[in-house]
Amino acid sequence: MADQGREEIPPKLTERDRATWAEVVVDVRVAEVDHPFHYRIPAFLQTKLRVGHRVYVPFGPRQRVEGFVVGLTSDAPDVVRPRDIIELVEEEPAFTEAEVAVAEWMAERYLCLRVQALQCFLPPGSSRRRRRPVQERTVQGVSLAIPPDEARRIADGLEKRAPRQAEVLRRLLHADGPIPAAQMAVSAGYGPLRALEGKGYLRYETVRRLRLPGVQNMPGTAAERPVLTPDQQRAVDAVVAALDKRSFTSILLHGVTGSGKTEVYLQAIGEAIQRGRQAIVLVPEISLTPQTVDRFRKRFGDKVAVLHSALGSGERYDEWQRIRSGEVDVVIGARSAIFAPAGRLGLIIIDEEHEASYKQEEAPRYHAREVAEQRLRMQSLGGVLLLGSATPSLETYHMVRSKRIDYVVLPERIGGRSLPATEIVDMREELLAGNRTMFSRSLTAALHEALARREQAILLLNRRGYASFLLCRECGAVPRCHACEVSLTYHQQPLRLCCHYCGYETSVLTACPQCKGPYLRPFGAGTQRVELEVSKAFPAARVLRMDRDTTARKGAHYDILRRFAAGEADILIGTQMIAKGHDFPGVTVVGVLNADIALHFPDFRAAERTFQLLAQVAGRAGRGDTAGRVFLQTYSPDHYAIRAAAAHDYVGFASQELEYRQQTSYPPYAELARILVWGEDQHKVASTAKQAAKGCMSVLNSPEQLVGPSAAPLEKLKGKHRWHLLIKGDTDTVRKGAEAGLQAVAQRDAEVAVAVDIGAVSLL
């Protein structure tokens, strides 16, 4: 390809010739000076300097501070003491003009520092202190310790028993040198590497980073492309038409699990590449999606860069350079890959767009979906944002309904497979029938049948969140806050119920507010307890457990999933991490032990999260040739989120939920910001939060726009007390409110921290 460079055009020559001033944002992280300052452009930089350059400038009493050029101008600004740029940090600009524009937008939108926003576009790990990133480093690589013939024979032998080990050997056979261990672990996990090393088939060695394209990727076997179904073809056509328009378009691809979304992504990317454009693919959590990454590698070989947290900062830097140089056509990664320096960007795909992990929970608190849109809007060639999900976020679906984005549906699973039969099990009746175990009678029977037929099962214990609540075992009622409609959180010390939105508190009830019965109890059970109960009820079953405890080690996720896929266990027990896109053809039974727990979490998105999780986990059953069965155990069998999930009825759910959001003025009908205050001293934290609230109130139009302040649902984290308040309203008001809130506590006690989160997703 002739055009290997970045597509962005430098500022017009005429304008640059006249420019004598550069607008520079200095890398001093203080809000008061987080705006451009004017510096004179010295003669030796007159023709060279461009927007996006990193420069050294004098600043205040400091002789030499790093800064970023964000604008060039000829207007004589009002500068008291004109000073010159000292020199360039690097010859080439670090940012394109479009990237600078996106960073500017981020600073406005998320109320973060401009420097923080700009920093996102620099290669990860290139700290502002390090002058020049290390160009050459060593990494841990793996290579064969045995002759190729023997390796081939052993790989054949391992195929059945240990397919991942076999795959590692095959990849080493295809490579013409060592492969970085971290790259290998992306798809294989570390387990197989250790196993092969133990057997003496593989060795670790320190190697200079190999830059030969292809060494770090799958052997370039271009997998055959299936012929698209008519629905898939319509989706790809929509992307192509939008690409050719050369302006910004966004499309929601709404397809149930297994409907062929990934195949649409692959072929849409193929079309973009043919038009000389690059693609970025975001996945929620890359360590949980090795199968997806492999499919991209098989299709596009060396032209794929994977930005993975298992990569060292040096390796990330190298991938960044490969992307920037234009060598790479497709970038896959989690949230931060949205900043990858793809200069010929044409297509951004966000898979599972509803996932909360696309929102960054520390500064800058951006949402990848919003940044993606701005990136494409700010570049002259436009581009397509393709959002894929089986359960789109209500924000995105609302845009579809108000005709602000295009909509393509894949209504059926590939190969005519049906969605699994889903049964709602009323746990109140189990109690009445004398069944006090955590497995309903119908789930127990289905598990026995599956085990007898040597099929597999998944048991999901939903543990999203930390708070517990009171539940009436007889009628299923959960005490809620009358003002905020969220459930009241149960506290043991001191014993009380409280609302984590508005701060309302009450003593612990003893009788159910609905049926007046005496069975109001705190609710919650751990995966360990489930494992114990399974071993009692099904002593012959082989069990694997996947939760935060069993996956602390790097690569552990993947090991567990691989072992389950290889048939090493009959039952997989886990938290929501097992619900993600894995493909287990052997699974015929899925049981959700407590389908409603997330309903009662103090979050206005509780119903949406519940629906998403249940729909997703139901998608795990029946991926093979045998039809699947799903059991949703619940104390709220009539709740619309649970009914809709069981009926695979997204549209029904979304309509009802949107109506409720409109009534309560929550997103997508309002903007939402959260001010979080934390620190060691509980009283200082609380009084700071109250002061911030006062500041907000001074600019808000009505008291309903402010919720709180109150203790946050996660009241204490790492020894710090936490308080929060929410601001609801139109975008402008919310921003003004948040700014006023921050302003009011600018002079606060040094031990108390305050953050504002615009478009907040996590309300913990």
Q: Enumerate binding residues for ligand ADP (CB under 6 A).
A: 226-229, 232, 255, 257-263, 414
CB 102 within 8 A of CB 51: no
Q: With CB cut-offs between 5 and 8 Å by kind, which of ligand ADP, Zn ion, none does residue 391 bind?
A: none
Closest approach, Cβ 293 to ligand ADP, in A, equals: 13
φ and ψ at residue 436, rounded to 5 degrees: -105, 5
Concatenating the DSSP letter of every residue in 382-441 gives: -EEEEEEESS--HHHHHHHHTTSSEEEEE-S-GGGPPPPEEEEEEHHHHHHTT--SSS-H
491 - beta bridge partners? 496
Relative to beta strand 406-410, strand 248-255 is parallel
* Residues contacting residue 711 through CB under 8 Å, at least 6 positions apart: 498, 500, 503, 686, 721, 722, 723
CA distance from start to end of the chain: 49
Using alpha carbons, list the distances in angstroms from residue 57 to 22, 39, 89, 133, 424: 11, 8, 10, 20, 66
Closest approach, Cβ 392 to ligand ADP, in A, equals: 13
Helix H, strand E, coil C: the string for 640-662 is HHHHHHHCCCHHHHHHHHHHHHH
Q: With CB cut-offs between 5 and 8 Å by kind, which of ligand ADP, Zn ion, none does residue 82 bind?
A: none
Closest approach, Cβ 338 to ligand ADP, in A, equals: 20
Question: How many helices (H) and strands (E) in the chain?
Answer: 22, 30
How many CB atoms within 10 Å of residue 442?
Answer: 15
User: Among residues 232 and 551, whose Cβ is nearest to ligand ADP?
Assistant: 232
Q: With CB cut-offs between 5 and 8 Å by kind, which of Zn ion, ligand ADP, none does residue 483 bind?
A: Zn ion
User: Among residues 268 and 654, whose Cβ is nearest to ligand ADP?
Assistant: 268
Helix H, strand E, coil C: the string for 364-388 is CCCEHHHHHHHHHHHCCCCEEEEEE
The answer to whether residue 584 forms part of the interface with Zn ion (CB under 5 A) is no
Closest approach, Cβ 482 to Zn ion, in A, equals: 7
**CA gap 455, 447 in Å, rounded:** 9
CB 154 within 8 A of CB 169: yes
Q: With CB cut-offs between 5 and 8 Å by kind, which of Zn ion, ligand ADP, none does residue 229 bind?
A: ligand ADP
Closest to 432 (Cα-Cα) out of 444, 440, 423 = 440
User: Among residues 342 and 711, whose Cβ is nearest to Zn ion?
Assistant: 711
21 - beta bridge partners? 40, 73
* Secondary structure of residue 684 in the 3-state scheme: helix
Site for Zn ion, residues 245 to 264, rule: CB under 5 A: none
Please classify residue 508 by burial: count the beta carbons closer than 10 Å to its beta carbon, then call 0-12 exposed, 13-18 middle and 19+ buried: middle
CB 55 within 8 A of CB 22: yes
Stretch touching Zn ion by CB under 5 A, among 301-309, 465-473, 477-485, 627-635: 477-485
Closest approach, Cβ 311 to ligand ADP, in A, equals: 25
**CA gap 372, 70 in Å, rounded:** 20
**210 DSSP assignment:** P
Q: With CB cut-offs between 5 and 8 Å by kind, which of ligand ADP, Zn ion, none does residue 414 bind?
A: ligand ADP
Q: With CB cut-offs between 5 and 8 Å by kind, which of Zn ion, ligand ADP, none does residue 501 bind?
A: Zn ion
* Residues contacting residue 323 through CB under 8 Å, at least 6 positions apart: 278, 305, 331, 340, 341, 342
Closest approach, Cβ 55 to ligand ADP, in A, equals: 45
Closest to 643 (Cα-Cα) out of 610, 665, 676 = 610
**487 DSSP assignment:** B
Closest approach, Cβ 309 to ligand ADP, in A, equals: 23
**CA gap 734, 727 in Å, rounded:** 6
281 - beta bridge partners? 332, 349
Closest approach, Cβ 265 to ligand ADP, in A, equals: 8
User: Among residues 177 and 226, whose Cβ is nearest to ligand ADP?
Assistant: 226
**CA gap 203, 241 in Å, rounded:** 50
User: Among residues 261 and 354, whose Cβ is nearest to ligand ADP?
Assistant: 261
Q: With CB cut-offs between 5 and 8 Å by kind, which of Zn ion, ligand ADP, none does residue 502 bind?
A: Zn ion
User: Among residues 414 and 421, whose Cβ is nearest to ligand ADP?
Assistant: 414
Q: With CB cut-offs between 5 and 8 Å by kind, which of Zn ion, ligand ADP, none does residue 261 bind?
A: ligand ADP
Closest approach, Cβ 224 to ligand ADP, in A, equals: 10
Closest approach, Cβ 166 to ligand ADP, in A, equals: 20
Q: With CB cut-offs between 5 and 8 Å by kind, which of ligand ADP, Zn ion, none does residue 379 bind?
A: none
User: Among residues 60 and 230, whose Cβ is nearest to ligand ADP?
Assistant: 230
User: Among residues 195 and 414, whose Cβ is nearest to ligand ADP?
Assistant: 414
Binding mask 428-467 for Zn ion (x = CB under 5 A): ----------------------------------------
User: Among residues 262 and 360, whose Cβ is nearest to ligand ADP?
Assistant: 262
Residue with tokens 């911030």: 692
User: Among residues 61 and 411, whose Cβ is nearest to ligand ADP?
Assistant: 411
Q: With CB cut-offs between 5 and 8 Å by kind, which of Zn ion, ligand ADP, none does residue 495 bind?
A: none
**And the tokens for 307?**
């930005």
Closest approach, Cβ 729 to Zn ion, in A, equals: 18
User: Among residues 210 and 617, whose Cβ is nearest to ligand ADP?
Assistant: 617
Q: With CB cut-offs between 5 and 8 Å by kind, which of ligand ADP, Zn ion, none does residue 481 bind?
A: Zn ion
Closest approach, Cβ 414 to ligand ADP, in A, equals: 4
Residue with tokens 């990133």: 133
Closest approach, Cβ 374 to ligand ADP, in A, equals: 26
User: Among residues 498 and 654, whose Cβ is nearest to Zn ion?
Assistant: 498
The DSSP H or E segment spanning 197 is helix 190-198
User: Among residues 260 and 333, whose Cβ is nearest to ligand ADP?
Assistant: 260
Closest approach, Cβ 260 to ligand ADP, in A, equals: 4
Closest approach, Cβ 713 to Zn ion, in A, equals: 12
User: Among residues 292 and 336, whose Cβ is nearest to ligand ADP?
Assistant: 292
User: Among residues 388 and 574, whose Cβ is nearest to ligand ADP?
Assistant: 388
Closest to 187 (Cα-Cα) out of 203, 211, 166, 204 = 166
Binding mask 481-510 for Zn ion (x = CB under 5 A): x-xx--------------x-xx-x------
Q: With CB cut-offs between 5 and 8 Å by kind, which of Zn ion, ligand ADP, none does residue 226 bind?
A: ligand ADP
Closest approach, Cβ 584 to ligand ADP, in A, equals: 13
User: Among residues 263 and 319, whose Cβ is nearest to ligand ADP?
Assistant: 263
Closest approach, Cβ 733 to Zn ion, in A, equals: 21
Q: With CB cut-offs between 5 and 8 Å by kind, which of Zn ion, ligand ADP, none does residue 257 bind?
A: ligand ADP
Q: With CB cut-offs between 5 and 8 Å by kind, which of Zn ion, ligand ADP, none does residue 310 bind?
A: none
Helix H, strand E, coil C: the string for 224-250 is CCCCCCHHHHHHHHHHHHHHHHCCEEE
CB 69 within 8 A of CB 53: yes
Binding mask 686-715 for Zn ion (x = CB under 5 A): ------------------------------
User: Among residues 369 and 728, whose Cβ is nearest to Zn ion?
Assistant: 728
Q: With CB cut-offs between 5 and 8 Å by kind, which of ligand ADP, Zn ion, none does residue 518 bind?
A: none
Size of the site for Zn ion (CB under 5 A): 7
Binding stretches for Zn ion (CB under 5 A): 481, 483-484, 499, 501-502, 504
